[in-house]
A = this chain, B = another copy of it.
């Protein structure tokens, strides 16, 4: 993990930051192994600190081996003030996406004489191209998701509620080694399947309905994120057509994904295909996103993305079509982007499963 901090220091020098404050919890986990719910990291050329509160006094002894730990009663800035770490005029970076305005204004008041520099995506960009051990962790997270699918598929039957199925997903995830759900599982059936982000409800699965099932697992901090869509009873012509179109859009995007491709170009491959099939506005979200310590990370894979897809990054490919009267279909895979191709990490069959 010291290597991770060295990479961060190198980046800080490029950005002329004398100190960097880390407020994102997944980033504290990544840099220091700390899994608590409250903390602040400080990196300078000289120091590497983890500051947290008394609840984590024991936990840090087990988790944190590469930082000086400071335990506070309440104010995470206190040890920095006390030891006068910030010289006047010093340029101190902070994570603008992971510090709320209230904490920012406390920071300003605590250190009125330093130059606070709002930064974005510093650590996100350090993790975007996986190191070999990080590839392994991502593979595990994806493999657990595959095993979850194998466990839940035989359980799906008409009459069960979306929440019942969501309960099985979370349960089998943990039993199979996931630390937690990467996000609250989406189980959306019938008219609800046309809601791209329909969290599981008390609605039951009924014949004639498509069911969109979207969930993720976490292994040592790294996330997976997968979606499959099943059919309860025989599909209508419109449902079958939608399904096949989305499956083909997924296949086409996976087939062309490779390193250095602009995210917008990859999005276009799926979007153009779906448009030709008559689904234009019906694909109302991005094709995918980077997957890392957070389930939504860099690079962006959308029509307006300006990101290129780096080698060894992990992205989702998740075309979807949603028609209020017919239902929705989404098929999402996680791929490891390589020099000339993309390796699918979520090895789950994509043929339409019909459950009678």
A residues contacting B by CB (< 8 A) are: 35-37, 54-59, 62, 73-74, 94, 96-102, 104-105, 118, 120, 163-164, 166-168, 170-175, 177, 179-180, 184, 191, 194-200, 202, 284-285, 304, 322, 324
Contacts and interface: CB of A to CB of B under 8 A. Distances in A.
Given A101-B118, A196-B55, A197-B59, A74 B174 contact: no
B194 A58 contact: yes
Contact of A118 (B102, B172, B174, B200): B102
B74 A304 contact: yes
A320 to B, nearest CB: 9
Contacts of A194: 58
A285 B55 contact: yes
20 contacts: A35-B199, A55-B195, A55-B197, A55-B284, A55-B285, A56-B195, A56-B196, A59-B197, A62-B195, A73-B304, A100-B101, A101-B118, A163-B174, A163-B179, A164-B175, A166-B174, A167-B170, A167-B174, A170-B171, A170-B174
A197 B54 contact: no
Nearest to A328: B58
9 tightest A-B CB contacts, nearest first? A167-B174, A54-B284, A171-B171, A96-B102, A55-B196, A96-B101, A59-B195, A101-B104, A170-B170
Listed residue (A99, A168, A180, A195) with the most chain B CB atoms within 10 angstroms of its CB? A195
Contact of A101 (B56, B94, B173): B94
Nearest to A285: B55
A293 to B, nearest CB: 15
Nearest to A168: B171
Given A97-B101, A98-B100, A174-B200, 10 more contacts: A58-B195, A58-B324, A101-B104, A102-B118, A163-B175, A163-B179, A164-B175, A166-B174, A170-B170, A180-B199
